[in-house]
Amino acid sequence: MVKDRPLGHRIIAAFVNDSRPGTDYLHYAPFVKFLFWTGCRPCEAIGLRWGSVLPDCSRVHFHESIVEISGRKVRRKEDKTAVKRWFTCPDNLKELLQSIRPEHPDPEALVFPSPKGHSLSDLELSTKEGIKMTPYNCRDTFITLQALQGHSSTTIARWVGNSSKIIEERYLDRMRLDHLRPTNI
């Protein structure tokens, strides 16, 4: 693990390279990559079915989720904001999906099942310097990195199923303030 690599890369590498007996981290590596590379909500990735991925894996349709309510997993026919959206996959994501796609996938089968074939539960990704990281942090990382690349809040909002106002308030304003300094008087 290289310390100067971004934390997202280090977390992905930890899942990919974990070879300890009795762990399932390698099984979860595609799920973790998907979260970092799409910025989707964890419940959207958990509920993603092969029928929502184009056969060539070039696009993903986010339109449902699996959430836990009172300890029970519930399939919802919409996401948190009821915004159905298509996400065009960059090459690395397309290759990832193609690598895990069964030859003739059942459209109802989960893209990211648990090792026992059930729907996933949220994972703790890492505890770093006393900070607990959850799958939702992958979404925050994606949004922040896209903003740093110069993508507009409107574009990012469409990708992640949010409003540009939320992207501006929660991410861009904070980033701008971090770089601003008061003028000497």
The two beta strands, 72-76 and 131-133, are: unpaired
Strand 65-69, strand 72-76: pairing: antiparallel
Length of the chain (residues)? 185
In a domain, 1, yes or no: no
Q: Look at residue 17 and tell me if it is in a domain.
A: yes
> 34 lies in a domain?
yes
The pLDDT assigned to 1 comes to 40
Asked if 109 and 50 touch (Cβ cutoff 8 Å), the reply is: yes
pLDDT in tens, 116-158: 888 888 666 555 556 677 888 888 889 988 888 888 999 999 9
Residue 97 has a pLDDT of 98
What would the pLDDT profile of 14-28 be if each residue is shown by its tens digit? 788 877 777 777 888
**Number of domains composing the chain:** 1
Give pLDDT tens digits for 99-119.
999 999 999 999 999 888 888
Q: Average pLDDT in the 78-83 region? A: 68
Structure tokens, 88: 């065009």
- pLDDT tens per residue, range 49-63: 999 999 999 999 999
β-strands 59-62, 85-88 pairing: antiparallel
Residues 6+ apart with CB under 8 A from 133: 11, 124, 125, 126, 127
CATH number at residue 117: 1.10.443.10
Does some domain include residue 2?
no
Residues 25-40 pLDDT 10s: 788 889 999 999 999 9
| CA 92-37-94 angle, 5° bins | 30
Q: Which of 86, 90, 99 is nearest to 30 (CA)?
A: 99
Query: How confident is the model at residue 55, as a pLDDT?
Result: 97
Residue 12's nearest CA partner among 149, 159, 123, 151 is 123
Does residue 46 fall inside a structural domain?
yes
Give the domain extent around 34: 7-179
The reply to whether 185 falls in a domain is no
